[in-house]
A and B are shown apart, each in its own frame.
Chain A
Amino acid sequence: MTALDQISHQLTKRDFESDQEIRWCPGCGDNSILAQVQRVLAELSTEKEKYVFVSGIGCSSRFPYYMNTYGFHGIHGRAMAIASGVKISNPDLQVWVVTGDGDALAIGGNHFIHTIRRNLDIKILLFNNQIYGLTKGQYSPTSKIGQVTKTSPWGVVEYPFNPVAVALGAGASFVARTIDRDPKGLQDTLRAAAAHKGTAFVEIFQNCVIFNDGAFNDLSNKETRPDRVVTLEDGKPLIFGKNQDKGIKLDGFTPVIVDLNDGKHSVSDLLVHNVKSNDPVLAFIYAQMSENPALPTPMGVFRSVEWTTYEKDIEKQIEIAQNKRGKKTLQDLLKTGDTWTVE
């Protein structure tokens, strides 16, 4: 970071609030996510004019209008393609994509995997509410088997995507999961994503109060959460439960729950999380845990590994080409190849 990037005064959450009236339903999880994003960005040492928020279509995609930064409300599914152009064009910008389960995983699935594959330095916040909200209640690619919606009156028969597993499968360098009703966990995850140099993918479980209310209740309720959620912390064993007395160990390739009070197991039997592991296999195993109702759902950062980013590599190639071929003028360009002169 250069001196120019240093901000002259400390920004506050309010600096990131635009003058637009927020049109999300009262009680929608989007409101909380917006507030946490504004809080976290205010803490960081980047001027707000350096941020570009890009979205597609859906309830979540209204997000850029509420941020007093640069913003682009795109078309359905294409936020990541637009964001790629912004970032490649000007790598100094901090580009954040806000998308939903329909936007990113149905119509925009292709852009989602390819953006991740290229490892552009952009942040992708996927608000997953397992339903189509803006079109009023059809099933999405993350809706559960059997879920009754307006387009699945007899229940969904499609197997859902697990967004964390898809991102890992596409080779994401940073993958995390969090939930709208856990402001602290959400903020920690956003901070980690912001610090990552490369594509940072964050799945945010988000409650749709109108069309899929309570989809994540067991993951957010004070009563059930401790037994239903295991928080991934780098370098720490996977422990959860109201009394922090349960852990996850591997039986072959299968994660199983062990009772730390049963006299047979100790903390040393448990899986210890390593976000920097180059091998994504364990992260993938964690990702699958949420598919098994007997196991707790992991939250936090699954993976955070850094390598070169697409836009930096392009800048590097330009530099190499200029060094090798010399900086050329427009006239040089036009005269490339065989020429002849007519008197």
Chain B
Amino acid sequence: MSAQSIKTVDEVTIHLAGDSGDGMQLVGHELTNIMALTGSDVGTLPDYPSEIRAPAGTVAGVSGFRLHVGSVDVHTPGDEVDVLLAMNPAALKASIKALKPNGVIITNMGEFDEKGLKLAGYESNPLMDGSLDKYQTFAVDMNKLTKEALKSTGLDPKSVARCTNFFALGMTLWLFNKTLDNTIEFINEKFAKKPQIAEANRLALEAGYTYCSHSESFAFKYEIPSAKLKPGTYRNLVGNEAVALGCAAAAQRSGLNLFLGSYPITPATEILQALSNLKEFGVKTFQAEDEIAGICSAIGAAYAGSLAVTSTSGPGLCLKSEAIGLAVMTELPIVIVDVQRAGPSTGLPTKTEQADLLQSMWGRNGESPVAILSASCPSDCFECAYEACRIAVKYMTPVILLLDGYIGNGAEPWKIPNINDLPVITPYRHHDAHTFEPYMRHPETLARPWALPGTKGFEHRVGGLEKKHIVGSVSHDPDNHDFMVKLRAEKIKKIESEIPPTTVYGPESGELLVLGWGGTYGAIRTAVETCERKGLKVTHLHLRWINPLPKDLLPVLKRFKKILIPEINMGQLSRIIRSEFLIDTISYNKVRGLPLTAREIQTRIEEILGGKL
């Protein structure tokens, strides 16, 4: 037994990288679960190529998984990596840039042969040529050790090779001072129908773990004290799954049936997948022939009385534009979830971006206002989806919910709410057939009543043609059109009253406010906290609602001399704030397909406060 020391840290960022077929996402999810189950706060980011299997061993085919673990509040998947697990030379090459000086590299030496190095584009072996000198490198021939450990199973070489990821996971769990029980349970469940494979993976896992405890490879183990999470029951939740749960919860709570009309699209597909597996809750999912049928079926379902949702990403939102206008005109409640990816066009399908905001605001013909809100982190997706459904039903309007791609695919612990704490959702109905008019108005919300086909005496027609106020017949009257355009805008404006008073993190007034929306939340908050620790005075305000904006937003903005708006676009929220309030903003825009880092936002804050901007 070697005498490894324990290194206690508040937070650590781990990056797992391997070939697309190496099972890095699986290992990443399991490691996240273990970390969360053992009391850490976590934030994750899967980073995978859009090709399903790019050529094996090449940099293009590297699939990564970023995991930020801490005893402190974790807001992001981590900017800079402490521990890099690289399963081959290409994975090392693709991921090393993010590794901190003196960071830990665990790598599979068995892949660093001539062929592997050539595929990765290395001219010399980085394990030998001194280029990794500034890191702590632990190169282990995982191929050989896994093969050795699985000798008794009689499995073919290909199946044996597939277990290498569990060998690596075993090493990682040892490094973080975890036990194997949970993972063995996971393996047994996951491979319940293939006991031989389950056994092989268990052997590989244990071999990796034992190798570390017997070898003197690592000089230390990490120990991360438990995070100070609020008391409650938690589970680990991926953003897209949270959206599915939020919609399903809203349906249950409102007594409506949930209908999802959708077409598979990266990175939003998991919402369709998750909801299609909730049949026991009466959820109906319709995998449509295209994006347009996805939303049109949702509009039909809303007309027939379902809580109707459609999920998509940017290119799909383009295709749905005309139908969103139809939902505006027919004033039917639907929720459109856009998990934003990098564009334009097909762009970078698996990479994150925030560039669909203006499309959501104005990307339709005519004056076509819709409600828009955005989720700030994976666990926020549940509440946002629930809120989107609640507002859609209460105001009889389409609502667009925006997620950054990396929020949809990222995961973090989520405190399971008590269902009685979820707000009530009550559809607006009119019960007297004699006084019913399809476009009569609720006095406060301006919603029109939701009358369902099948109900005697409420027969009425809706459609895309302009409707006469109250009675709902087709009207070409100029004054009526002007009135209805303004009424539809007024209805969205009324949603202001649903938005809680604006709160900020940091001083209530001062030199600089960092204003954000959506998935930049974690990076901004981390940057602001770091600046705070350095004695700088800076405030963070994060918007959930973008249309309408909170009614008390302007007075808050005016309490600050400067407003910095970091976005993963060319300044879309900036444009809205400037045009809405006639005040100036400073934009920080990086459109790399990656989340903004806390470090770059911190730098920008320091520049502004240092008088450089």
Contact with B along A113-147 (1 / 0, CB 8 A): 01000000000000000000000000000000000
Enumerate chain A residues within 8 angstroms of B245, measured Cβ to Cβ. 333-334
Which residues 222-261 of B sit at the A interface, judged by CB distance below 8 A?
229-236, 245, 248-249, 252-253, 257, 259, 261
**B279 with A317: CB separation less than 8 A:** yes
Stretch of A45-53, A180-188, A190-198, A296-304 lying at the B interface = A45-53
**A52 with B233: CB separation less than 8 A:** no
Q: Shortest beta-carbon distance, A88 to chain B, in Å?
A: 6
Number of interface residues of A (CB under 8 A): 61
Cα distance A32–B464 in the bound complex, in angstroms: 25
Cα distance A54–B280 in the bound complex, in angstroms: 30
Contact with A along B454-498 (1 / 0, CB 8 A): 111111111111000000011000000000000000000000000
**B305 with A335: CB separation less than 8 A:** no
In the complex, A330 has a CB within 8 A of chain B: yes
A111 CB contact (under 8 Å) in B33, B231, B253, B289:
B289
**B235 with A90: CB separation less than 8 A:** no
Which residues 297-355 of B sit at the A interface, judged by CB distance below 8 A?
297-306, 308, 322-323, 325-326, 330
**A90 with B231: CB separation less than 8 A:** no
Stretch of A74-82, A160-168, A203-211, A216-224 lying at the B interface = A74-82
Known: A84-B300, A85-B304. A69 touches B459 (CB 8 A): yes
A73 CB contact (under 8 Å) in B37, B249, B464:
B464
Number of interface residues of B (CB under 8 A): 69
Enumerate chain B residues within 8 angstroms of A111, measured Cβ to Cβ. 289, 292-293, 296
Known: A70-B460, A85-B308. A325 touches B454 (CB 8 A): no
B296 CB contact (under 8 Å) in A20, A70, A78, A324:
A78
What residue in chain B is nearest A73 (Cβ atoms)? Answer: B463
**A333 with B299: CB separation less than 8 A:** no
In the complex, A331 has a CB within 8 A of chain B: yes
**B297 with A71: CB separation less than 8 A:** no
Cα distance A221–B305 in the bound complex, in angstroms: 46
Known: A89-B306, A111-B289, A318-B282. A81 touches B297 (CB 8 A): yes
In the complex, B416 has a CB within 8 A of chain A: yes
**B456 with A47: CB separation less than 8 A:** yes
Does more than half of chain B's interface fall in helix, strand or loop, or is it mixed? mixed
In the complex, B286 has a CB within 8 A of chain A: yes
**B463 with A82: CB separation less than 8 A:** no
Contact with B along A56-69 (1 / 0, CB 8 A): 01000000110111
**A340 with B37: CB separation less than 8 A:** yes
Q: Shortest beta-carbon distance, A98 to chain B, in Å?
A: 12
Q: Shortest beta-carbon distance, B300 to chain A, in Å?
A: 3
**B284 with A89: CB separation less than 8 A:** yes
Enumerate chain B residues within 8 angstroms of A110, measured Cβ to Cβ. 289-290, 293
In the complex, B514 has a CB within 8 A of chain A: no
**Residue with the highest number of chain B CB atoms closer than 10 Å, among A75, A314, A336, A337:** A75
B280 CB contact (under 8 Å) in A83, A114, A314, A318:
A318
In the complex, A279 has a CB within 8 A of chain B: no
Cα distance A72–B297 in the bound complex, in angstroms: 12
Q: Which 9 A-B pairs have the closest CB atoms?
A: A85-B300, A73-B463, A81-B296, A85-B297, A321-B279, A71-B461, A81-B293, A89-B304, A85-B301
Residues in B lying within 8 Å of A, measured CB to CB:
33, 36-37, 39, 229-236, 245, 248-249, 252-253, 257, 259, 261, 278-282, 284, 286, 288-290, 292-293, 296-306, 308, 322-323, 325-326, 330, 416-419, 452-465, 473-474
Residues in A lying within 8 Å of B, measured CB to CB:
18, 20, 47-50, 52, 54, 57, 64-65, 67-75, 78, 81-90, 92-93, 110-111, 114, 314, 317-318, 320-322, 324-331, 333-343
27 A–B pairs (Cβ distance < 8 Å), ordered by A: A49-B457, A50-B453, A64-B463, A67-B461, A71-B462, A72-B330, A72-B463, A73-B464, A84-B297, A86-B303, A111-B293, A114-B288, A318-B280, A318-B282, A324-B280, A329-B252, A330-B249, A334-B245, A334-B417, A334-B419, A335-B233, A336-B235, A337-B235, A338-B33, A338-B37, A339-B234, A342-B230
